[in-house]
């Protein structure tokens, strides 16, 4: 019986990465070649151009001419990394895929260990950053706090310091693609689907070329997306807060009636009234805001717009 070799596909999302792509492919191609010959597997690289406005797409085309293992998918505009990854996963025709960033912050050298775990039976091999020395203190602190909060309230925890860098078997990819939500918090989705998971630890290097597309404001909003995607606790909490406040208000009301009946009316109490009105007003606005967050997401989901639009396929059947 002849067993056809397994296929490994490396998916790399690219947004304005004309400065990074050459170095990335120069490093990763020899690594993949050596993995392929060592474990007799086939490989390809699927570069997803997430609507770059620079020469990223031209660079992909040039690489495709040099190396038939390289394939390209060009999106019609910038849809964001999560959508670009989803596009890559949907078009990868492989037994396993590895998702990696172009900027060399995810070291390609550990791909071999990932492949080994996969061939040993793991369905998902997650790259975990063991050191974040290159991040600022405040970034490390906020990210730690965020993971703590997320894991407290989400249905399924995500490992702290795990990024998108990971290997997934065909079954995991199919499962991930079954989650049709528009709001794609990939880390949450990856952990939600389950399967046998292994971890590989690495130290995260500094970005080699170009610049990060993230800033604090974007990260903050990304964090909110993650929480609202995988937990409804922020909504339910207001039921409890409201219940507590009503119970307190009710007893206090009874006390006021009692006092007025037996001791007459008192006019004092302006500060108390002001403080109460302001406090409750603020609380109400805040809880409306949270309701709004969920309603906005409902609106996005019911429209069922596609997650991405493909403009061009390069070297793909
Ligand atoms: N990326 C993308 N679309 C975007 C933003 C980023 O495809 O809208 C890609 C980017 O080209 C890179 C990866 O996602 O390959 C990670 O981006 P970046 O290094 O900016 O993020 P960070 O490492 O700072 O989280
Ligand atoms: Mg990066």
203 and 251 assigned to the same domain: no
Predicted confidence band at 53 (pLDDT cuts at 50, 70, 90)?
Answer: very high
Q: Is the dihedral of CA 161, 32, 46, 10 positive or negative?
A: negative
Same domain, 96 and 76: yes
Q: Would 250 be classed as within a structural domain?
A: yes
Q: Does residue 171 share a domain with residue 49? A: yes
Please check whether residue 98 lies inside any domain of the structure.
yes
d(CA 229, CA 154): 9
From the list 150, 27, 170, the residue with the least C-alpha distance to 89 is 170
Residue 101 falls inside a structural domain: yes
Note whether 210 and 288 are same-domain residues.
no
pLDDT score of 1: 63
User: Which range has the top average pLDDT, 37-41, 103-107, 229-233, 267-271?
Assistant: 37-41
Residue 238 lies in a domain: yes
- Using the predicted structure, report yes or no on whether residue 144 has a pLDDT greater than 80: yes
In a domain, 1, yes or no: no
When pLDDT is cut at 50, 70 and 90, the band that residue 9 belongs to is very high
Asked if 29 and 85 sit in the same domain, the reply is yes
Are 90 and 17 within one domain?
yes
* 2 in a structural domain: no
Nearest CA to ligand 1 atom 5: 81
**Quick one: which atom of ligand 1 is closest to the CA of 84?**
7
| pLDDT given for residue 98 in this prediction | 95
Local confidence band at 185 (pLDDT 50, 70, 90 cut-offs): confident
Question: Within 10 Å of residue 232's Cβ, how many Cβ atoms?
Answer: 12
Burial class (CB in 10 A: 0-12, 13-18, 19+), 273: exposed
Residues 36 and 94 in one domain: yes
d(CA 104, CA 212): 12
Specify whether 75 is located in the same domain as 209: yes
Interhelix angle 56-66/21-39, nearest 10 degrees: 40
Indicate the number of domains in the chain: 2
Percentage of residues in the chain having pLDDT higher than 90: 40
Domain encompassing residue 310: 7-226+305-314
Instruction: Say how far apart CA 228 and CA 209 lie, in whole Å.
Output: 33
Per mean pLDDT, which of 64-68, 247-251, 276-280 is the most reliable? 64-68
The whole-number average pLDDT for the span 25-42 is 93
Atom nearest to 50 CA in ligand 1? 7
Partners of 75 in beta bridges: 310
Q: Looking at the structure, do residues 214 and 237 belong to the same domain, yes or no?
A: no
Residue 58 sits in a domain of what CATH number? 3.90.550.10
Per-residue pLDDT of 213-244, as tens digits, reads 677 788 888 888 888 887 878 887 887 887 88
Helix (H, G, I), strand (E, B), or coil: what is residue 116?
Answer: helix
34 Cα–ligand 1 center, Å: 27
- Evaluate whether residue 284 is within a structural domain: yes
17 and 140 co-located in one domain? yes
Predicted confidence band of residue 262 (pLDDT cuts 50, 70, 90) = confident
Give yes or no: residues 205 and 248 share one domain: no
State the pLDDT confidence band at 143, using cuts at 50, 70 and 90: confident
pLDDT computed for residue 61 by the predictor: 92
- What is the pLDDT, as a whole number, of residue 2? 67
Query: If you measure from the C-alpha of residue 82 to the centroid of ligand 2, how many angstroms do you get, rounded to a whole number?
Result: 14
From 12-21, 33-42, 108-117, 192-201, the region with the lowest mean pLDDT: 192-201
Q: What is the pLDDT of residues 194-217, one digit of tens each?
A: 888 889 988 876 676 767 767 778
Specify the ligand 1 atom closest to the Cα of 213.
20
Tell me the DSSP string of 136-193: -HHHHHHHHHHHHHHHHHSSS---TTEEEEEEEEHHHHHHHHH---SS--HHHHHHHT
**pTM for this model (two decimals):** 0.75
Q: Which residue's CA is the closest to the ligand 1 atom numbered 12?
A: 101
Identify whether residues 172 and 23 lie together within a single domain: yes
The 10 Å Cβ neighbour count of residue 159 is: 13
């Amino acid at each position: 019986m002849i067993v056809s070799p397994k296929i490994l596909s490396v998916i790399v999302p690219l947004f304005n990465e004309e400065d990074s792509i050459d170095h990335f492919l120069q490093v990763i191609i020899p690594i993949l070649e050596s993995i392929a010959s060592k474990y007799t597997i086939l490989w390809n690289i699927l570069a997803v151009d997430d609507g770059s406005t620079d020469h990223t797409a031209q660079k992909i085309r040039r690489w495709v001419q040099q190396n038939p293992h390289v394939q390209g998918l060009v999106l019609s505009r910038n849809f964001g990394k999560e959508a670009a990854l989803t596009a890559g996963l949907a078009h990868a025709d492989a037994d396993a895929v590895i998702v990696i960033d172009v900027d060399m912050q995810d070291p390609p050298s550990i791909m071999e260990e990932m492949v080994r775990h996969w061939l040993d039976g793991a369905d998902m091999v997650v790259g975990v950053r063991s050191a974040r020395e290159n991040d600022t203190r405040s970034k490390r602190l906020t990210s730690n706090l965020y993971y703590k909060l997320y894991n407290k309230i989400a249905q399924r925890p995500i490992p702290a310091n795990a990024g998108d860098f990971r290997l997934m078997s065909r079954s995991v990819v199919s499962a991930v693609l079954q989650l049709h939500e528009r709001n794609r918090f990939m880390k949450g989705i990856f952990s939600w689907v389950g399967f046998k998971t292994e971890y590989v630890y690495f130290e995260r290097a500094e970005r080699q070329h170009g610049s990060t597309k993230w800033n604090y404001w974007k990260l903050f909003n990304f964090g909110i997306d993650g929480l609202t995607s995988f937990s409804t606790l922020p909504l339910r909490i207001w039921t409890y807060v409201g219940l507590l406040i009503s119970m307190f208000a009710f007893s206090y009301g009874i006390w006021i009636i009692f006092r007025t009946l037996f001791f007459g009316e008192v006019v004092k109490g302006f500060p108390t009234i002001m403080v109460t009105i302001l406090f409750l007003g603020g609380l109400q606005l805040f809880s409306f805001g949270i309701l709004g967050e969920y309603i906005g997401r409902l609106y996005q989901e019911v429209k069922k717009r596609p997650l991405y639009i493909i403009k061009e396929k390069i070297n793909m059947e």
